[in-house]
Structure 1
Amino acid sequence: MSSHTQTQFPSTTEVKELVLDVGPVAHGGHCVARHEGRVIFVRHAIPGEKVRARLTDAGEAAKFWRADAVEVLEASPDRVEHFWHAADSRRAWTHGHPPVGGAEFGHIALERQRSLKAAVLTEQLQRLAAVGQFPGGEVTVEAVAGNSAGADPTYDADTGLGWRTRASFSVTAAGKLGMHAHRSDHIIALREMPLASAGINRLRLWNIDLQGIERVEVAAPANGSRPLVLLAPAPGTKPKRLSAIAAQLPEDVSVATFDPLTDDVQQLRGRTWVQESAAGHEYRVTGAGFWQIHRDAPEALVGAVTGFLHDGGFLSPGSVVADLYAGAGLFTAPLADAVGETGSVLSVEGAPGTSKDARKNLHGAPQVEIAQGRVERILRQKPRNFDALVLDPPRAGAGKAVVGQLMAASPRAIAYVSCDPASFARDVGYFQQGGWSLAGLRALDLYPHTHHLETVALLVPSR
């Protein structure tokens, strides 16, 4: 469901399969195997298994190949039956097509999934940041099950299903709801989405004729408020066709069109935003604006961030803090609560629409200043003596220049929230080169059955 590059899958007569001994897990949702000295990244396997793997990307000049496990010859004790046929590599290839992306760890017991994610985070921090000792000992990835479970009978933290309150879909040439195969333009039609919440699945989007639409985004807030379906029309799609699609959805669902390149949203029915709840606050999030997708992620992340800062003595009434890459204000609102009217919060977000949401969400907090623009520019324009910074950058991370600027601002502490172990580890390395150290680390399993995880770290100046 993320961006993809085109892969041409070989025809049946060209298929090449290899028997491989599966080695360690690697960042990106695959394991490492070798064949005649060449590295092969194998998906849908588990370290220690022997599998027959189908090559999916195997150019002779390539430094490494990619493959999907299609038969397990020696199984790991942690292998389980995949919960989703469309994402099950063995079943999908039997039917002549690759599996959908988005549940690449679904064949692994949840506890082992978390140990594999911990291994990836550990390896990235050791290799990219030269971290030799971790706060609290070894890295562990925590299961997350919050207070919202009772609101959705399909959500089950023990099985890792029903947690997604947001989902992104593609559309087949025949107008059916679908998802892409990994690293491919190939779209597989869907008849179910087990990771999605009841609020999404009740829409039964797979029964709707979506001809004229290229992409569908759905947001169904965990608080039960009105869902929003966003339709990205193909060029030339007529308004009448869009109205016909909207008419196939339940009346209590908002429907709008959006442009994935500009994020421009146009109302078809209802409202163009959803109302989210977290940490005792209400948040308006417009269109495809960012919000955590696991129903319990907002509470869990706010708790981790404020816990680190509060316990370290960096967050209290009167503190001066900043929330960088702030989105609609998920962290800004509880930070404002913590610093009170005698403190201040600078909330910085680059996207104009999302920053507008933040202004609406924080209008009742006079201690908050909302600034729209690049983090680097705003920090130069609004220098102050920060007690703490909260940093939640996009997947690419903050980068060397921004990390240098953050250290130059001389806060007493930085809470760094990351969804990518590689960019996170790289940035931790930059902090350490600048004389900072990793004082706290929590890893949360906010994406069960995928290789993704969320990390919250506390960074402090070593001096």
Structure 2
Amino acid sequence: MSENWLGRTLELEIGPVAHGGHCVSRVDGRVVFVRHGLPGERVRAEVTEDKGGAFCRADAVEVLAASAHRVTPPCPLAAPGGCGGCDWQHADPGYQRELKAAVVAEQLQRLAGLSREVVVEPLDGGPLGWRTRVRLVAGRDGRAGLRAHHSHRVIPLDDCPITVPGALAQPLSRRWKPGTELEVTSDGDSRVHVRELSTVHGRTRGRQLSGGEAVQHAADRDWRLDAHGFWQGHPLAADTFARLVAKWAEVPQGGVAWDLYAGVGLFASVLAEQAGPEGLVYAVESSRRAVSDGERNLADLPQVRWRAGRVEHVLADAPKPVDVVVLDPPRKGAGRAVADAVAEGEPDRIVYVACDPAALARDVAYFAEHGYSLTELRAFDAFPMTHHVECVALLQ
């Protein structure tokens, strides 16, 4: 077992970016994942985690030779030992997108064997004031905040510069019972919804403090849905992705499409418009509240047939053959079983919306086993200042 380096300060040169909001360095044969540094920099880094394996984690606490892309973070809490909500505030926005592009390309190469140039596109509005959904927790002093990176320690907030202005005013203005969790959503009409979460006998319960039903606007529709159910966190993301899905899906009139992990039916709505009244869109979603909201929002599109259940459990009964499949899985991806089931439907086109590049690359490799090739890929900086990136892929 390696000597434990926890608390040790290392002088090192930072190497390439890695998935997860850090860069890679090597010291005495060990990999060191360094946060708050940039490729090519020389830093002093303090080891923050060492479990005795081939790698450890560290924070760059002093920059000895800075990158030309380094900037002063707009939030003083985006620093070693501070808030874990942002990863790249110390890099200029253009370089942040270059780092994310490098991560997507590396994951595709490593996990899917594909060499592809990737460009991460910005969404309008800039890198601050975009975040519409925040989950806060109250610390020991009752102040609400966010957790430190890889820690349960709560960093109290006065505000958050990446969050929609004013959205946190209510929950940050008072004290809470320590450990209380709060879900905050700012909707498309700038209404703020706050829900308090509590855990009793292992079960989490929510108590709505303000709002409850959100209004969102995307794909030429007004949506009414559970304020704390799934919706994109960036105000422009839902409409941007819906329009791209419509462009790539090309469902024929009278055709059949599957919308998997459908949420409230954002993509089902554009697929149904393409398929027309004689077509069919099979929308699968595990959240029964989302299905109920989806049925209500798309009541004018009877060609959308809803199914509540886990995707991997219900595809055996899905209408086949299918012309187009759209899937927007959670961060862990769809997985081999879902990829196999999708391939059994023999779609001409698969449009995959992904919030994790590693999961996307693994699933692209699974689809390749069934003869599907990645023909188009666009990546979007839908989460500026963080390491997260959204990709939309077309497989044929």
- Give the shorter-chain TM-score range: over 0.9
Q: Percent identity?
A: 42
Residues 273 and 186 of structure 1: CA distance in aligned 2, closer, same or farther (over 3 Å): same
Q: Deviations over 1:242-300 (max 9, x none)?
A: xxxxxxxxxxxxxxxxx9x55x544455x532121111112222152111000111011
Asked whether the 8 Å contact 2:325–2:347 carries over to 1, the reply is: yes
CA distance in 2, matches of 1:34, 1:267: 48
Instruction: Specify the alignment match of 1:291 in structure 2.
Output: 231
Secondary structure, counterpart of 1:436 in structure 2: coil
Asked whether the 8 Å contact 1:213–1:232 carries over to 2, the reply is: no
Asked whether the 8 Å contact 1:230–1:287 carries over to 2, the reply is: no
User: How do 1:163-174 residues align onto structure 2 when only pairs under 5 Å count?
Assistant: 163-174=130-141
Instruction: Specify the alignment match of 1:401 in structure 2.
Output: 337
The residue type paired with residue 129 of structure 1 is: A
Q: Which of 93, 105, 112 is matched with 1:122 structurally?
A: 105
Q: Deviations over 1:170-197 (max 9, x none)?
A: 1111110111011111111111100001
Secondary structure, counterpart of 1:385 in structure 2: coil
Secondary structure, counterpart of 2:167 in structure 1: helix
CA shift, 1:315, in A, is 2.1
Secondary structure, counterpart of 1:334 in structure 2: helix
Q: Which of 44, 56, 59 is matched with 2:48 structurally?
A: 56
Q: Deviations over 1:73-95 (max 9, x none)?
A: 00000000001011122xxxxxx
Instruction: Specify the alignment match of 1:79 in structure 2.
Output: 70
User: How do 1:69-148 residues align onto structure 2 when only pairs under 5 Å count?
Assistant: 69-89=60-80, 98-132=81-115, 134=116, 138-145=117-124
Residues 15 and 212 of structure 1: CA distance in aligned 2, closer, same or farther (over 3 Å): closer
Q: Root-mean-square deviation (CA), in Å?
A: 1.8
Secondary structure, counterpart of 1:435 in structure 2: coil
CA distance in 2, matches of 1:357, 1:28: 33
Asked whether the 8 Å contact 1:165–1:222 carries over to 2, the reply is: no
CA distance in 1, matches of 2:308, 2:206: 19
User: How do 1:231-310 residues align onto structure 2 when only pairs under 5 Å count?
Assistant: 231-233=196-198, 265-268=206-209, 271-309=211-249
CA shift, 1:377, in A, is 2.7
Q: Which of 222, 226, 229 is matched with 2:194 structurally?
A: 229
User: How do 1:208-223 residues align onto structure 2 when only pairs under 5 Å count?
Assistant: 208-211=174-177, 214-223=180-189
Instruction: Specify the alignment match of 1:181 in structure 2.
Output: 148
Secondary structure, counterpart of 2:334 in structure 1: coil
CA distance in 1, matches of 2:206, 2:255: 37
Secondary structure, counterpart of 1:86 in structure 2: coil
CA distance in 1, matches of 2:238, 2:121: 15
Report the TM-score, using the length of structure 2 for normalisation.
0.95
Secondary structure, counterpart of 2:163 in structure 1: coil
CA shift, 1:227, in A, is 2.1
CA shift, 1:412, in A, is 0.8
Secondary structure, counterpart of 1:71 in structure 2: strand
**How many aligned positions are there?**
392
Residues 338 and 223 of structure 1: CA distance in aligned 2, closer, same or farther (over 3 Å): farther
CA shift, 1:204, in A, is 4.4
Instruction: Specify the alignment match of 1:385 in structure 2.
Output: 321
CA distance in 1, matches of 2:173, 2:330: 34
CA distance in 2, matches of 1:50, 1:334: 50
Q: Which runs of 5+ in 2 are unaligned?
A: none
